[in-house]
Amino acid sequence: MPADPQGTAPRLHGILVVDKPAGWTSHDVVARARRLLGERRIGHAGTLDPAATGVLPLAVGDATRVLEYLTDASKTYLAEVTFGVETDSSDADGVVTAVADPASLDADRLQQALAAFQGEIGQVPPMHAAIKIGGRRLYELARRGEEVARPSRVVTISTLTLVEWSPPIATLLVDCSKGTYVRALASDLGTALDVGAHLSNLVRLRTGPFRLCHAVTLTELADAPLPWIWPDLAFHPDAVLGDWPALLFDAEAAATWGHGGRVPADGVARGPCRAYDEAGTWLGVGLADLEAASWRPTKVVGSAA
């Protein structure tokens, strides 16, 4: 239920999962959220192309402190690939550069091709990507008609499943690592099958622990009775860190942590952690210092409730 309107207004910290509409850039969504929430500290995890829709997690307020961990998370997509047509951007927004007859392509050939793209693969980013080469964004160079060499990068595709085959369109379920370009995957599939292809539609179903069923539309956000509904709309910032060990500190240890001090480890300390006081208030994140047998805070926060 929404927070009591008669009580203290909730602080707007947390992860807000937005269902990005088609035609909006990820930056457009952030700008809109800033206006609706009245909060400048908002960042997004993982750019979605304007034509794509689906899960775009926004880190609001104190949650921006853990945005880097969400940006590294794996993602799941429902991708529509149209065979027989290539574009300069490898998606439906591009200019058609080649057309071929995909009549020889069937589900069996497609399944065999998909097998070669699972696991760790090398992938060359498309020219219309947002990454920088030599200090310049690739899409800016592409718009000027320039093309530069792009080094291949290793990405991991954990799942690549044919959901539906309606010639010449294949609907694929793709689960992949950070840095994977699904439109590059579509183009590479077309090349492997000698008919060409482009990404004709893309829906992001998941980023890390956040799924499409958790998302709100921008219209729903605009109509929401903010700030009171916030606890029902957003996830606590620590939801990003759900698979990290949690430390519960007494008052003395919590005070030490809050001042940036190390807290002795009870037993063997390994890897990252999330910390809380006895009331369950999130205190931030830290790392194990094996030599000093202690937990060292790396990001200290106050109450993010």
The CA R_g of the chain, rounded to the nearest whole Å, is 22
- With beta carbons less than 8 A apart as the criterion, state whether 283 and 254 touch: yes
Angle (nearest 5°) at CA 261 between 257 and 263? 70
To the query of whether residue 49 is one of the catalytic residues in this protein, the response is: yes
Provide the phi-psi class of 179: left if phi over 0, else alpha when psi is between -120 and 50, else beta: left
- With beta carbons less than 8 A apart as the criterion, state whether 204 and 74 touch: no
Picking from 96, 94, 93, 97, the residue whose alpha carbon sits closest to that of residue 52 is 93
- With beta carbons less than 8 A apart as the criterion, state whether 96 and 86 touch: yes
**H/E stretch holding 295:** strand 294-300
Which residues 6+ apart lie within 8 Å of 65 measured at CB?
237, 284, 285, 299, 301
What does the DSSP 8-state code read for residue 181? Answer: -
At 67 the three-state DSSP class reads helix
Backbone angles phi and psi of 231, in degrees to 5: -60, -25
Instruction: Note if the bond before 168 is cis, omega within 30 degrees.
Output: yes
Alpha-carbon span 268 to 82, nearest angstrom = 53
Backbone angles phi and psi of 61, in degrees to 5: 60, -130
Catalytic option among 19, 49, 91, 238 = 49
- With beta carbons less than 8 A apart as the criterion, state whether 232 and 260 touch: no
Helices 107-115 & 182-192, crossing angle to 10 degrees?
120
Residues labelled as active-site residues: 49
